[in-house]
Structure 1
Amino acid sequence: MKKVFVLDTSVLLHDPKAIFQFEDNEIVIPYAVLEELENKKRSLDDVGRSARQAIRFLDQLRERGQLSQGVCLPNEGMLRIELNHCSGDPLPLLSDIKLADNRILAVTLNLAREDERPVILVTKDIAMRVKADALSVMTQDYYNDKVNLVPLNDEVVVMELKDVEVDELYQKGQIPLKETILPNSCVRGRLTDNSEIPLISTSDGTKLINLHNRNKNYWGIVPKNIEQTWAFGILSNPEIKLVNLMGPAGTGKTLIALASALEQTIQQELYSRILCARPVIPFGKDIGFLPGEKEDKIRPYMQPIYDNLEFLLRPKQDKLRDKDSESILESAVDLLKKKRQLEIEVLTYIRGRSIANQFIIIDEAQNLTAHEIKTIITRAGEGTKIVLCGDPDQIDHPYLDKESNGLAYVATRLKGQSFYGQVGLVKGERSELAARTAELL
């Protein structure tokens, strides 16, 4: 039986193409949704962009007929704009019908009473789903962009090794596999005495590479656990152009990425510049407009990156300093920026750029949508490496969750590609206090 899906504004702001994702069912958009899109369309952020795109799609569908009567969609479904009619008194007493959410709920409830088909309200708003359920209205999240993110530990391959294979790994650095596995997979090589060594598969999945006897010092940073060893191994592989570092706070994602970037850019000169960026989403109540130039405005949002850079660069500040440097108080971070070897930017300004031969680090990538992640990755030119860092369990974006954020989207869709590698960092190494508090609280 065909169904009727009523779309909330949050769905169209999350994915303007949502109207084409419900197969041959009927899509109903309440008039209140159009009013909310109208109010959002002038915004210069991604919400405004999504609102404008959704309106453009609806405008194109007008050529097929009158939207209030219903128009056919390419997937043999139908889309209709529904006015905010009220038959009787569908909402509880004292409900404010002027609120857009209540008008959308009223439309859904009335349709459910009048239509013999199942009527389902689709919304990204959790509170909206709770209110709909209280009114006995069928409701669901928007599932089209959701992915099934496998737990980090389940991604790791465990392989029993014979003594002959271990000897070959230490002598030659790699061994062939009898059966191919996914490219760039993290492998726990288990020895006969139950100890483990970090291994990684090649980009074609036919060999195992030993990371245990590799250079363990990356810009002064030594891996503290097997997951960090995998991370450094993947980051230092030039064949892997896209790296996904996932894990909770304190596991070293940003520090490892920056240490590898400095090693390969400053020391080895494999890349011309380091580009660090993160989405501007404040934690807690926003403090409002910030004074100063662009550099001054973005500094508070970029402070976690500055903290890690200053920690990494302080021991080598004298070596990086020019002999004719005017200020002895000038920080190593400022020196690298002056030499154009380091750029710290907000993601707002990355759209439209073509970035070649750079080491790009995107921090807090779990707060990006799948569309935003795609936009960032497609900025990469020849010789560029992109590293995504984030925690899928720590999301501040109002319309994203663990299964629909861009970080999880990349992990699910690109796994198995020869140019892609991912590592799940699980052990907190920031400090004993941070690790124990994260565990107990």
Structure 2
Amino acid sequence: MPKVYILDSSVLLHDPTAIYQFQEHEIVIPYAVLEELEHKKRLLNNIGRAARETVQNLDQLREKGQLSQGVKLKSGGVLRIELNHSSPQKLPLASDLTLPENRILSVVLNLRQEEERPVILVTKDIAMRVKADALGLATQDYFNDKVYLPPLGDDVLRITPDEQEIKSLYSEGAIKLNQAVPPNACVLAENTSLPLVSSTSGREILAAFGHKPTWEITPRNLEQHWALALLNNPGVHLVNLMGPAGTGKTLLALASGLEQTIHSERYARILCARPVVPLGKDIGYLPGEKDDKVRPYMQPIYDNLDLLLRPKREREREKGIEAVIDSAVDLLKKKKQLEVEILTYIRGRSIPNQFIIIDEAQNLSAHEVKTIITRAGEGTKIVLCGDPDQIDHPYLDKESNGMTYVAARLQGQSFYGQVRLVKGERSTMATIAADLL
């Protein structure tokens, strides 16, 4: 039996194509949602982009007929705009009908009275779902793009090498396999703590230990060995580093980028970027030029760069070859070996032969991650760093953010590798505090 799904603005701002995902069911968009989209479309961020894309999709459907009367969709369903109309079914006393969410709830109550079919409110706003439930309304999250990571450790490949194979690991750095295993997988040898990874072909197990330090950074735990093995492998073009704060995701990515850009010259430039999540003032309200506005958002990257570059800069000063520019970061920028950017300015670019680091990638939607990955030109490597358990974006969660989406869709591809870091290495105090506080 077809159902009636009423979409909240949070769903459309999360996925502008949501109107096409409900198959043969009827989709209702309250007029209050259109007013919210009208307000959001002026924003110069990803939410504004989603609002504009949603309005464009609705405008295309308008050519098929009057939206208030309903138009047919290719999926077999119907979409219509519902005006806010009066009905005997009322909201609780003192409810403020000037609030868009209350007007949407009023529409849901009214339609439930009129329709014989099930009426379901779809929203990504948790508070909205709680209010709807309190009113006895059927409500649910938007599940179309939700994906789930396996339990921690289940994505690690376990093998039991014999004595000859262990000797081969130490002498040749690899074990040849008779049958293929998943490519670029984290591998753990049973009864040992050897960090291993599978090759991009899946036909070899490679040693992830015994290599020289990367930009003088030596891994401190098993997961960091795995991470550096994938970061330093030129055959792995997309690396997904997931883990809580302090596990070394950004530091390892920057160390690998500096090593492969400055020392081995495998890449022409390091491009570091972060999403600007609108939790306060937007970037346009900060004083100064673009670099001055970007700096507060990028400070964690600058802190890691300063940690990695300070020892080399101090040794240069001791040798009497101090740079004219005091900051090593500024020197790299002047040489065009380093670019620090916000994601707003990456859209539409083609980026070849660069080492791209996307920090706080858990605050990206699946659509945004796809946009970033499709910017990569020949010879470019992309590293996603973030913690899917710590989402700041108002319309994303652990199952619908870009990092989780990439992990679920690309695992097993020869160009992709992922590591889930768990042990904090920032400091003893930070690690204990993270566990106890």
TM-score by length of 2: 0.96
Would you say how many aligned residue pairs link Structure 1 and Structure 2? Answer: 436
> Mapping of 1:70-85 within 5 angstroms?
70-85=70-85
Amino acid at match of 1:379: R
Alignment partners' CA distance in 2, 1:336 and 1:197: 36
CA RMSD of aligned residues (A): 1.8
Map of 1:334 onto structure 2: 330
| 1:294-341: CA deviation from partner (whole Å, max 9, x where unpaired) | 1111111111001100100011115678988774x6111111111111
Amino acid at match of 1:106: S
Q: Which of 222, 232, 239 is the equivalent residue of 2:235? A: 239
Map of 1:313 onto structure 2: 309
Unaligned runs of 5+ in 2: none
Map of 1:402 onto structure 2: 398
Map of 1:302 onto structure 2: 298
Deviation of 1:229 after TM superposition, in Å, equals 0.3
- Secondary structure at the aligned position of 2:369 is classed as helix
> Mapping of 1:88-107 within 5 angstroms?
88-107=88-107
> Mapping of 1:18-417 within 5 angstroms?
18-190=18-190, 194-215=191-212, 217-281=213-277, 289-317=285-313, 327=324, 330-417=326-413
- Secondary structure at the aligned position of 2:17 is classed as helix
Deviation of 1:59 after TM superposition, in Å, equals 1.3
| 1:387-406: CA deviation from partner (whole Å, max 9, x where unpaired) | 00000011110000000011
CA contact (8 A) 1:320 1:332 kept: no
Deviation of 1:152 after TM superposition, in Å, equals 3.3
Evaluate the alpha carbon distance shift between residue 411 and residue 332 of structure 1 in structure 2; reply closer, same or farther with a 3 A threshold.
same
CA contact (8 A) 1:219 1:260 kept: yes
Amino acid at match of 1:204: S
Alignment partners' CA distance in 1, 2:301 and 2:27: 44
CA contact (8 A) 1:282 1:301 kept: no
Amino acid at match of 1:312: L
Evaluate the alpha carbon distance shift between residue 214 and residue 162 of structure 1 in structure 2; reply closer, same or farther with a 3 A threshold.
same
CA contact (8 A) 1:199 1:209 kept: yes
Alignment partners' CA distance in 1, 2:88 and 2:430: 57
Amino acid at match of 1:387: V
CA contact (8 A) 2:283 2:294 kept: no
Q: Which of 421, 429, 433 is the equivalent residue of 1:433? A: 429
Which segment drifts farther, 53-62 or 402-411? 53-62
Amino acid at match of 1:201: S
Alignment partners' CA distance in 1, 2:279 and 2:423: 24
Evaluate the alpha carbon distance shift between residue 109 and residue 244 of structure 1 in structure 2; reply closer, same or farther with a 3 A threshold.
same
Alignment partners' CA distance in 2, 1:209 and 1:269: 24
CA contact (8 A) 1:275 1:342 kept: yes
Deviation of 1:284 after TM superposition, in Å, equals 7.0
Map of 2:419 onto structure 1: 423
Identity of aligned residues (%): 67
Deviation of 1:110 after TM superposition, in Å, equals 1.4
> Which consecutive aligned stretches of 4+ in structure 1 deviate over 6 angstroms post-superposition?
282-288, 319-326
| 1:112-152: CA deviation from partner (whole Å, max 9, x where unpaired) | 12211111000111111000000010001111111112233
Alignment partners' CA distance in 1, 2:293 and 2:32: 36
CA contact (8 A) 1:6 1:108 kept: yes
- Secondary structure at the aligned position of 2:142 is classed as coil
Amino acid at match of 1:136: G
CA contact (8 A) 1:356 1:384 kept: yes
Evaluate the alpha carbon distance shift between residue 326 and residue 226 of structure 1 in structure 2; reply closer, same or farther with a 3 A threshold.
closer
Evaluate the alpha carbon distance shift between residue 162 and residue 53 of structure 1 in structure 2; reply closer, same or farther with a 3 A threshold.
same
Deviation of 1:212 after TM superposition, in Å, equals 2.1
Which segment drifts farther, 89-98 or 298-307? 89-98
Evaluate the alpha carbon distance shift between residue 326 and residue 285 of structure 1 in structure 2; reply closer, same or farther with a 3 A threshold.
closer
Deviation of 1:86 after TM superposition, in Å, equals 2.4
- Secondary structure at the aligned position of 1:112 is classed as helix
Deviation of 1:167 after TM superposition, in Å, equals 1.2
Deviation of 1:179 after TM superposition, in Å, equals 3.3
TM-score by length of 1: 0.95
Evaluate the alpha carbon distance shift between residue 288 and residue 172 of structure 1 in structure 2; reply closer, same or farther with a 3 A threshold.
closer
Alignment partners' CA distance in 2, 1:287 and 1:440: 35
CA contact (8 A) 1:4 1:120 kept: yes
Deviation of 1:100 after TM superposition, in Å, equals 1.1
Alignment partners' CA distance in 2, 1:324 and 1:259: 23
Amino acid at match of 2:328: A
Unaligned runs of 5+ in 1: none
Alignment partners' CA distance in 2, 1:80 and 1:282: 31
